[in-house]
């Protein structure tokens, strides 16, 4: 499972490295969106952060929410109209064992007893969409991302728990970013003082 995930991440990185991931015709919002995911406090694994950012880029692209989706901000020659920023705070990974410490290390206990635990991940996610030129916040959202994973044979439980956290967070962030018609985005940009498309 880890090898497949790493191969997918490498392919996504190659697509992102070529520049903007451009949506096809018929997009609902005729603006370019930059996507930024960063750690707050404490700083966690860059692998988790980059996986959320990469998968969020592709998820928004698949939904064709915007004219183009750009990797990062000020990391590309193409100028965005909007910036989606997600900040991850209070990230916590913990193992919750079914048995006490004494029971887990009992020499008479069966080996499979050591696998009777759950990995739980919890984080606060603060998301906002800003006008790229004025940096005015057009919309924001806070949600708590929490999920748990019970390990099974021949898998990396921590990686699987992180993968589930990434999937759920990306789904929520995509829904947050893609909500709203082109007309509403145009009105929000106009109210922020940033230039929109000419009528």
For residue 109, being part of any structural domain is answered with yes
For residue 197, being part of any structural domain is answered with no
| Range(s) of the domain holding residue 105 | 2-192
Alpha helices per DSSP H over 85-151: 101-104
- List, for residues 151-188, the tens digit of each pLDDT value: 776 678 888 889 999 999 999 999 999 988 888 888 88
Q: How far, in whole angstroms, is CA 24 from its chain's centroid? A: 22
More confident residue, 11 or 34: 34
Q: Are 119 and 95 in contact (CB under 8 A)?
A: yes
Parallel, antiparallel, or unpaired: how do β-strands 82-97 and 66-71 relate?
Answer: unpaired
Q: Looking at the 3D structure of the chain, how many domains does it have?
A: 1
Per-residue pLDDT, 97: 66
How confident is the model over 124-149, as a mean pLDDT? 93
The DSSP secondary-structure symbol of 197 reads -
Q: Are 66 and 23 in contact (CB under 8 A)?
A: yes
29-39, strands of its sheet edge to edge: 21-22, 66-71, 29-39, 82-97, 117-131, 137-149
For the domain that residue 48 is a member of, what is the CATH number?
3.30.160
Highest mean pLDDT pick, 6-20, 93-107, 160-174:
160-174
Residue 116 DSSP SS3: coil
CA distance linking residue 149 with residue 166, whole number of Å: 13
More confident residue, 96 or 173: 173
Per-residue pLDDT, 154: 65
Could you tell me which residues are beta bridge partners of residue 85?
Answer: 36, 128
For residue 198, being part of any structural domain is answered with no
């Amino acid at each position: 499972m880890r090898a497949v995930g790493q191969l997918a991440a490498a392919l996504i990185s190659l697509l992102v490295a070529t520049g903007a991931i451009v949506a096809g015709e018929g997009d609902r919002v005729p603006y370019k969106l930059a996507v930024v995911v960063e750690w707050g406090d404490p700083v966690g694994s860059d692998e988790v952060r980059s996986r959320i950012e990469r998968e969020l880029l592709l998820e928004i692209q698949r939904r064709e929410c915007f004219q183009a989706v750009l990797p990062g901000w000020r990391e590309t020659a193409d100028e965005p109209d909007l910036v989606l920023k997600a900040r991850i705070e209070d990230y916590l990974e913990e193992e919750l064992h079914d048995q006490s410490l004494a029971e887990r290390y009992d020499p008479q206990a069966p080996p499979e007893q050591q696998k009777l635990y759950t990995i739980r991940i919890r984080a606060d996610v603060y998301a906002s969409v800003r006008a790229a030129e004025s940096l005015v916040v057009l919309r924001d959202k806070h949600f708590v991302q929490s999920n748990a994973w019970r390990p099974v044979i021949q898998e990396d439980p921590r990686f699987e728990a992180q993968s589930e956290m990434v999937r759920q967070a990306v789904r929520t962030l995509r829904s947050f970013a893609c909500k709203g018609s082109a007309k509403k985005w145009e009105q929000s940009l106009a109210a922020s003082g940033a230039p929109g498309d000419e009528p």
